[in-house]
């Protein structure tokens, strides 16, 4: 078993019949990089901004990005722009004036208040990308409309970052996936927030775990809509929420049509093994079954089975 695991731990992700599925790591800094990653599908950049009176300077940011890019020569690194707000307020952006921070100025919405902060971050990423061989993509969190995505992509192009994407974390974005792919190059589905906003269930609330379960058919329907839009447009659609790290769910997500899965680096070997154990046809069958299944129910309403 150990030998099989080691063998499965090499090379890019693929199904038993060779259908490629990129397996990327989620990181918050260069310190999180370990194992021989195919690339990084979610580089969370909030760490750089926490506990400060103002945004970090361009050179300081560029140095942090460059450290990650240098560790992944020739490989893809998808940098997510600042996703502060909600549980991560920043003193220079948030003033404690929001009654409902999860529905307030967070993610890309920060650019409404401080467009200069977003532009400076993208300039720092572009600066670091210029002297690296990594294939640097950027994406915005908490996109709700096509207009927001188009505005983001325009700034990206302006600073010299040619590949811009939108995270799908809000049901409105999933419903408009096709139109979104008219203005951005890829989508990345953040299932943690997409579950929270689809089910109106706080992602920190353990008592609502059944509503936050990414196996819920309603959530999978939104993933399927995004993946279908990606296939129609010929553009990548990945998943970078916790769902991607679940070896039982990964084949389902692939069967729905997603092209990459990004997860904590330590979760990659098990997900790789799960994909290697299923053909693409198996994955599609599992996806159809999951879509047709009943809701994931709350423990109290589950019938007792022996
Ligand atoms: C998500 O919401 O699924 C996601 C990947 O972003 P974060 O967990 O950082 O909000
Ligand atoms: Mg999120």
pLDDT digits (tens, 9 = 90+) for 196-211: 999 999 999 999 999 9
How far out from the chain centre does Cα 96 lie? 27
Q: What is the pLDDT of residues 223-248, one digit of tens each?
A: 999 999 999 999 999 999 999 999 99
Q: How far is the CA of 190 from the centre of ligand 2 (A)?
A: 5
Task: Please report the pLDDT score of residue 32 as a whole number.
Answer: 95
Ligand 1: centre distance to CA 139 (Å): 12
Q: In degrees rounded to 5, what are phi and psi of residue 14?
A: -160, 160
Q: What is the pLDDT of residue 1?
A: 45
Note the pLDDT of residue 11: 74
Which CB contacts under 8 angstroms, 24+ apart, belong to 92-101?
92/52, 92/53, 92/54, 92/55, 93/117
Pocket residues: Cβ below 6 A from ligand 1 = 42, 44, 83, 169, 190-193, 240-241
pLDDT at residue 305, rounded to an integer: 47
Q: What's the whole-model pTM score?
A: 0.94
- Nearest residue by C-alpha to atom 3 in ligand 1: 190
pLDDT for the residue numbered 149: 98
Which one of the listed residues 156, 205, 226, 240 is annotated catalytic? 240
Atom of ligand 1 nearest to the CA of 189: 3
Below-50 pLDDT ranges, the chain: 1-8, 304-306
Summarised one tens digit per residue, pLDDT across range 156-187 is 999 999 999 999 999 999 999 999 999 999 99
Q: Which of 49, 189, 241, 249 gets mutated to test ligand 1 (max ligand atoms within 8 A of its CB)?
A: 241
Which atom of ligand 1 lies at the shortest distance from residue 46's CA? 9
What is the C-alpha separation between 116 and 73, in angstroms, rounded? 30
Q: In this predicted structure, what is the pLDDT of residue 234?
A: 98
ipTM of this predicted structure: 0.99
Check residue 121 and give its pLDDT: 98
Strand partners for 164:
138
- Is 240 tagged catalytic? yes
Give CA separation, 294 vs 205, 254, 277, 283, in Å: 22, 20, 25, 19
How close is the Cα of 17 to the center of ligand 1, in Å?
31
Q: What's the gap in Å between 166 CA and the centre of ligand 1?
A: 13
Residue nearest to atom 9 of ligand 1 (CA): 44
192 labeled binding residue: yes
Atom of ligand 1 nearest to the CA of 191: 3
């Amino acid at each position: 078993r150990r030998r099989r695991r080691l063998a499965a731990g090499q090379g890019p992700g693929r199904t038993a019949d060779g259908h490629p599925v990129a397996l990327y790591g989620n990181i918050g800094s260069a310190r999180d990089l370990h194992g021989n990653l195919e690339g990084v599908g979610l580089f969370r950049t909030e760490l750089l901004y926490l506990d400060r009176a103002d945004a970090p300077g361009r050179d300081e940011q560029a140095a942090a990005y460059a450290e990650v890019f240098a560790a992944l020569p020739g490989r893809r690194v998808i940098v997510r722009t600042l996703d502060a707000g909600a549980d991560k307020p920043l003193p220079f952006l948030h003033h404690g004036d929001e009654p409902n921070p999860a529905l307030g100025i967070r993610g890309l919405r920060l650019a409404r208040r401080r467009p200069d902060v977003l532009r400076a971050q993208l300039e720092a990423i572009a600066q670091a990308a210029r002297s690296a061989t990594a294939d640097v993509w950027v994406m915005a969190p908490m996109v709700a409309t096509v207009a927001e995505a188009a505005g983001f992509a325009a700034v990206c192009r302006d600073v010299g970052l040619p590949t811009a994407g939108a995270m799908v974390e809000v049901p409105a974005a999933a419903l408009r996936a096709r139109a979104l792919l008219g203005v951005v190059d890829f989508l990345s589905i953040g299932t943690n927030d997409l579950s929270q906003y689809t089910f109106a269930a706080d992602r920190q609330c353990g008592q609502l775990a059944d509503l936050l379960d990414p196996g819920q058919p309603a959530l999978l329907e939104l993933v399927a809509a995004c993946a279908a839009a990606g296939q129609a447009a010929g553009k990548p659609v990945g998943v970078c929420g916790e769902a991607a790290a679940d070896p039982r769910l990964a084949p389902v997500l692939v069967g729905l049509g997603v092209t990459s899965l990004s997860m904590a680096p330590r979760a990659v070997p098990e997900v790789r093994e799960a994909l290697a154990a299923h053909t693409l046809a198996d994955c599609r069958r599992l996806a159809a079954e999951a879509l047709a299944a009943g809701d994931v129910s709350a423990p109290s309403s589950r019938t007792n089975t022996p």
